[in-house]
Structure 1
């Protein structure tokens, strides 16, 4: 694998290209790709990159990226011109307050959707008006017993919220479909508890449970189907929203394991012990969320598995798997891309966030079959 060498041009915008062809006939034998790394021009302005674009959102026309900062600012980035356009000041409280969102999204009508803990705030496209929807268990009809998982991705489409619901003991149970206007929740049970519970880590302080955590369950809405996946198993749970039917598609990888090995221990009494347990568990395979390339009608998913250890450093093998529009696996290959960096498709090319000396950059991958 050739190294991607980054050279900064005088204009503060750089682009370099690596062309590779996969030679393994058992993988994606007809796939070739280029990687161009581009840097966003910001002038004298500094961008907020400490959260690795975790609070960023792509516009529906794929032309602009908005990054929400702890200063309650939206950094508006022109992806066509590769430059920062402006910083939009917002307020945290009041009739147009953003609250403390942990995720953002645009709905099909171009409205801003801000997900906060136990609430959803929907803003008009010009950010001129806001409607707040509380989503605690007391606010929702038919969600009890149970509650919406607070840290999992949610998808809103035309006033409908899709979220994982769980028990009071933080055991995921299935999918909740919530009408935000009338606050009615419909439950679709899923057999996901046995996929998550063995990998749930618990912190006990003086013998009492202090915290439980598991990796987020990924939700992806494509047309009238919702795809649910976890980081631990090589599969997809597909929900037909028209009929509420559920089917599971399992896949096989020749490059990684198909399931993460069960950890020997999942409970700790100190933060350091817990971090050590999680680090050991991370050596196993980890599957990322699905991405949909609408221009080419294909699904993409990145995963990783430990390749080797050098001292205290863990070296991972990063794998790309490609699926057709019906989630039939087409092939897989090792790629030089961080599998869990911020990613999105723009004009049929995959953009993956990279930090280049504290400057905002993207590795733009153009795949050819």
Structure 2
């Protein structure tokens, strides 16, 4: 059993233009008494697709259902999170009236109506839970008004829809593999309008960590950079990244991206290092990536509905044992105005690509002997909120 007491800290918030700033402080304590346990998912006779670490998976808005997609077999696995067992599998079609094949599906998003968005590299399919095709979105310039995407710009299909599916946010890129994004596009799927939203210099700053591997004849083989996280949190569209302690936030009432920066005390606030922009071997690329992994890495924010808080995990270098880097994991809490409240080191809790709150408990995917399981930060006694908010007058 562990007990955390979250006390208020100061945070500095800046606008995109950097012309105004506001110093804020939280005025409540957050106390959490918890234990960490693990629950297994009953697969019956089925073998879950876990090769990608739940990289193409999402959870319904009520946290009752998990959808996991196998891009090789086009099999959709549907898990009942109340019963912690496989509910059913749905075989999607590659061709025909319900066909969603022809490319490579690399992302999945569940809408609030239960339909699923499947993101291909040049189109986005929407299906229902029976695997029936509802619609397919392919950008056609003539159908849209507002910002006109130029010939030297590219539309990125791996974006994020609002929970109701009416808005779509994605990056606008320059033509050319590995070029930094020029901004964020907001598409109104009903009005067929496009708006370019300035993202400050986030993508330019992230470009310093982009590394391209070229072959001996100069041909580009691959590019790797820092992760950019996009998701909707309590009605807001939020962009964060792995390298900097910051967020870009779009709120419906403001209809603009606002840049917020945070000041950590238990981790560094950004990655640093003079890394080469190009290498000529996979070994050199892996060596640089290992150096970068020794530094801080911020995950995306997660909304905790019972506590009306935002949680975010980060990893950073803690200490060295001989030649081995020992990392520490830190959880930071924010209020829904994106004020940083507190940060706390968490022991013995896994890092993973899929985290979500259910009944006040934080679930994190873990692979145990090739079986699907979830580690939970579980509150002890009474409330299902995972802690208590105490207003300090």
Shift of 1:195: 2.2
- Within-5 A mapping of 1:1-369: 19-22=1-4, 30-69=31-70, 70-99=72-101, 100-135=104-139, 142-144=148-150, 145-149=152-156, 153-156=159-162, 157-169=164-176, 170-180=179-189, 184-191=193-200, 192-205=202-215, 206-310=217-321, 313-335=324-346, 336-366=348-378, 367-369=386-388
Give the 3 Å change call, closer, same or farther, for CA 147–216 of structure 1 in structure 2.
Answer: farther
Aligned equivalents of 1:291, 1:29: Cα separation in 2 = 17
Q: Using a 3 Å threshold, how does the CA distance of structure 1 residues 43 and 210 change in structure 2: closer, same or farther?
A: closer
Query: Using the alignment, how far apart are the partners of 2:30 and 2:115 within structure 1?
Result: 42
CA shift for structure 1 position 32: 2.4
In structure 2, the CA distance between the partners of 1:138 and 1:71, relative to structure 1 (3 Å rule), is: farther
Q: CA deviation at 1:193?
A: 2.6
Residues 42-99 of structure 1, C-alpha deviations (whole Å, 9 max, x = no match): 2332111111111112123321212111221111211111111222111122221233
Distance in 1, matches of 2:235 and 2:87, equals 35
The one of the two structures with greater contact order (alpha-carbon pairs below 8 A, sep at least 6) is 2
Over 3 Å counting, the alpha-carbon distance change for 1:263 and 1:31 in structure 2 is farther
CA distance in 1, matches of 2:94, 2:35: 42
Q: Any gaps of 5 or more consecutive residues in structure 1? A: 1-18
Q: So what's the TM-score if we normalise by structure 1?
A: 0.86
Query: Which SS does the other structure have where 2:286 is aligned?
Result: helix
Pair 1:89–1:126, CA change in 2 (3 A): closer
In the superposition, the TM-score normalised over structure 2's length comes to: 0.81
SS class of match (2:31): coil
Shift of 1:258: 0.6
Q: CA RMSD in A?
A: 2.5
Native 8 Å contact 1:295 1:348 kept in 2: yes
Gaps in structure 2 of 5+ consecutive residues = 10-28, 379-385, 389-393
Give secondary structure in 2 for the equivalent of 1:272. helix
| Count of aligned residue pairs for this structure pair | 350
Structure 1 residues 312 and 98 mapped into 2: Cα distance closer, same or farther (>3 Å)?
farther
Q: 1:303 touches 1:339 (CA, 8 Å); kept in 2?
A: no
